[in-house]
Amino acid sequence: MEIFFWTCVFIVFYVFVGYGMLISILAKIKGTKPIEALVDEDLPEVTFLVAAYNEEEIIEEKIKNTLALDYPKDKLKIKIVTDGSNDGTNDIVSRFSEAELCFKPERAGKIAAVNRVMPSVESGLTVFTDANVMINKDGLKNMIRHFQSNLVGAVSGEKTVLSKEEDGASSSGEGFYWKYESFLKRKDAEWNTLVGSAGELFAIRTHLYENIDTNTLIEDFVMTMKLSAKGYKVAYEPQALAMETGSANIEEETKRKVRISAGGIQAVIMLLPLLNFFKYGKLTFQYISHRALRWTLMPLALVGAFTSIFFLAPQGWPYDLIMRLELIFAILALAGYAMRNGETKIKALYIPYYFIYMHYCVVLGWIKYFRGKQQVTWDKAKRATPLQQVQSLN
């Protein structure tokens, strides 16, 4: 029982603390070289590709935000793919001569829409971004400068979750999570390569794009992992901000989390060859440490550590103390659950709850994926007043 308990504790500690410490040391030892900015004359042509389904509330602001980026207008093309949309999205896009509307009445999911349109992209670089995400003015230039290296196949921006001074568990918890996640991403990229990319904002060399299986749930992650497996570096640009607000409430956030978790276990299965240390070395180490363990063993380790301590507590004070600390954490998590949709300035109160909640969603994702219930198309989560908050920082 002691061996089982300490194995579970090690997994939890390593995934959320140990790996961060280790990758920071490795990145520090390697060091980083500054990347020079490009003058406008040397900037390449870029196509912004936005897959949007029924986004009439935000699509106009998205196009305006893209047009306001500090990038030569004659080198910036915009394609808005709206397959299946039946609201006012198409009419709004049609009002902008700078944006090309790509529409098909049938809805087959985001990746099917992207696969359909990518052959028409003529620029050397393609930027993928979500409709509900706003980008800082210098973000695109900061990303594109990484492509001066032929080793770079893709570049990811930094997801930034905005929240109000007083906020609920969804925005507060997601904000804390992404601050730490962004730190890990920077260190991963500094040492070797980014381990996958979030779909909010990333760019690739257009000729490297390969059609992704339309049943893939987190296609952005799988796409960039496959690039890394081929030897290309996926760079990370923390000064390219993909700004969005958290979900309106924890119930809306659960939709998104469960889908990502289902996609995570699917990705682990699809990317089994990446577990070969002898072939992929550093990438395998990063992939297991940063992703695979989170999507597989972490929930089991948490349950194992929490339950086994009750059998060990009678053996002496160290285990008794740990049990008491675990119970305090559980009480704080229950308190966070009780006030999950309330708003407070003391956002750290939500950390214990959100930590447990994330892994609960992982388990729900497993169930939904293996039961075949997670569809490629989905109902997007409602966001908390995105325009006012995002534009105030843009």
- pLDDT confidence of residue 392: 44
Q: What is the pLDDT of residue 174?
A: 66
The amino acid at 351: I
**Alpha carbon distance 345, 104 (integer Å):** 45
Residue 214: partners with Cβ closer than 8 Å, 6 or more residues away: 108, 109, 111, 112, 115, 376
Q: Which residues contact 181 (CB under 8 A, 6 or more apart)?
A: 159
Q: Which residue has the tokens 């305090």?
A: 328
Burial (CB < 10 A; 0-12, 13-18, 19+), residue 81, is: buried
pTM for the model stands at 0.88
Residue 287 to residue 110: CA distance in whole angstroms: 25
Q: How far apart are CA 203 and CA 153, in angstroms?
A: 9
Q: Name the 3-class secondary structure at 369.
A: helix
Strands (E), 94-214: 99-102, 125-130, 134-135, 152-162, 201-205
**Coil, helix or strand at residue 66:** helix
Rounded to whole angstroms, the Cα distance separating 165 from 143 reads 30
Q: Where are the beta strands (DSSP E) in the chain?
A: 46-51, 76-81, 99-102, 125-130, 134-135, 152-162, 201-205, 233-245
DSSP state of 348: G
Contact predicate 60/66, CB 8 Å: no
173 vs 257: CA distance, rounded Å:
12
Render 268-294 in DSSP notation, one character per residue. Answer: HHHTGGGG-HHHHTHHHHHHIIIIIHH
Look-up of token digits 């997801």: 159
CB–CB of 116/83 below 8 Å? yes
- Cβ burial, residue 106 (10 Å; 0-12/13-18/19+): exposed
Alpha carbon 9 to its chain's center? 26
Tokens encoding 174: 């997601």
Q: What is the token pair recorded at 315?
A: 């053996």
**Tell me, what's the pLDDT at 170?**
54
pLDDT score at 168: 54
Give the per-residue pLDDT at 340: 74
Report how far residue 359's alpha carbon sits from residue 179's, in angstroms, rounded to the nearest whole number: 18
Evaluated on CA atoms 331, 334, 339, 345, the torsion sign reads positive
Q: CB atoms < 10 A from the CB of 242, how many? A: 23
The ranges of the chain with pLDDT < 70 are 163-175, 246-248, 343-347, 374-394
Beta-strand pair 125-130/201-205: antiparallel
Distance of CA 125 to the CA centre of its chain: 21
> Which residues, 6 or more positions from 346, have their beta carbon under 8 angstroms from its beta carbon?
none
Q: Map tokens 């979030």 to a residue.
A: 198
Report yes or no: 205 and 254 within 8 Å, Cβ to Cβ.
no
Q: Is 196 left (phi over 0), alpha (psi -120 to 50) or beta?
A: left
